[in-house]
Amino acid sequence: MSVVSASVSIMSTRLVNVVVDAADPPALAQFWCDLLGWRVSLAEPDEVDVQAPPDDGWRFDLVFVPVPEPKTVQNRLHLDLASASPDQQMAVVDRALALGAERIDIGQRNVPWFVLADPEGNEFCVLEPRPEYASTGAVAAVVAAVASPTALAEFWSAATGWPVERTGVEYASLRDPDGRGPWLELIRSAAPHPVKNRVHLDVAPYPDGSVATEVARLAELGARPVDVGQGDVRWEVLADPEDNEFCVLTPR
């Protein structure tokens, strides 16, 4: 493992949402609220937002949006949930199962964490206690399966403003420079990307920025515009250098 300096220049966009496609956004949002102890902050026909308590450290929203297509493949992005003790880990697993989650096998074999799926089949992990996740709050990490973690980490560092804190042969890890909230973990995977990601990230310019300027900046770093059926909207949909879709929202 190598550790990368935490210093990073000020970037022009920041991470604002983790977005989940859903057949029933209100129901899926309620599952995650009940599991994490969070609350619904916005409920509209085309979007349900879930927010963490102020002391949790998670400073962006978990957003659920309606889509007509069903889930067909394993998600390339998922959440890892933290635990402070073996008893707490089991308590989180038991709570998830009681709320409608299921244990699933994705080939993990004999590992110290549990792999589950939420009521719409979205995979997530409940981790054993790990020192690096002791201060993250309920969510330890947002995890993405990618072909080249170290190379793609540089792009996402530029997109989020988060420095690359750790790298290894199979992974790269980014963290908010103030050390709060979850990690963004890129894990090496040879899995194909056959359909639009069902979970994606949103970034946004700061209040004095512009969508057009930031889209151009990210394009210079390897992003490209994509059409996922978004129609005439105020934000831009791009794909990162490995074709993972993400959105550049309006300044905020």
Tens of pLDDT along 23-38?
Answer: 999 999 999 999 999 9
Which residue type occupies 24?
D
Q: What is the mean pLDDT of residues 182-187?
A: 98
In the numeric block, the tokens 């949103």 are attached to: 202
Q: For the chain, how long is the longest CA-to-CA vector?
A: 49
Sign (positive/negative) of CA torsion 137, 138, 140, 144? negative
Task: Please state which of the ranges 73-87, 116-130, 225-239 shows the lowest mean pLDDT.
Answer: 225-239
Domain that holds residue 66: 2-248
Say how many CA atoms lie within 13 Å of 188 toward its Cβ. 8
Number of domains the chain is built from: 1
Give the SS3 label for residue 161: coil
**Contact assessment for residue 230 and residue 223, using Cβ atoms and an 8 Å cutoff:** no
Give the SS3 label for residue 54: helix
**Contact assessment for residue 176 and residue 14, using Cβ atoms and an 8 Å cutoff:** no
Tens of pLDDT along 53-68?
Answer: 988 888 899 999 999 9
Beta carbons within 10 angstroms of residue 235's beta carbon:
15
**Contact assessment for residue 154 and residue 7, using Cβ atoms and an 8 Å cutoff:** no
Asked if the model's pLDDT at residue 245 lies above 70, the reply is yes
Q: Supply the CATH number for residue 124's domain.
A: 3.10.180.10
pTM (2 d.p.) = 0.93
Q: How big is the CA angle at 211 (ends 208 and 213), to the nearest 5 degrees? A: 85
Q: Mean pLDDT score of the chain, rounded to an integer?
A: 94
Tokens of 96: 């998830």
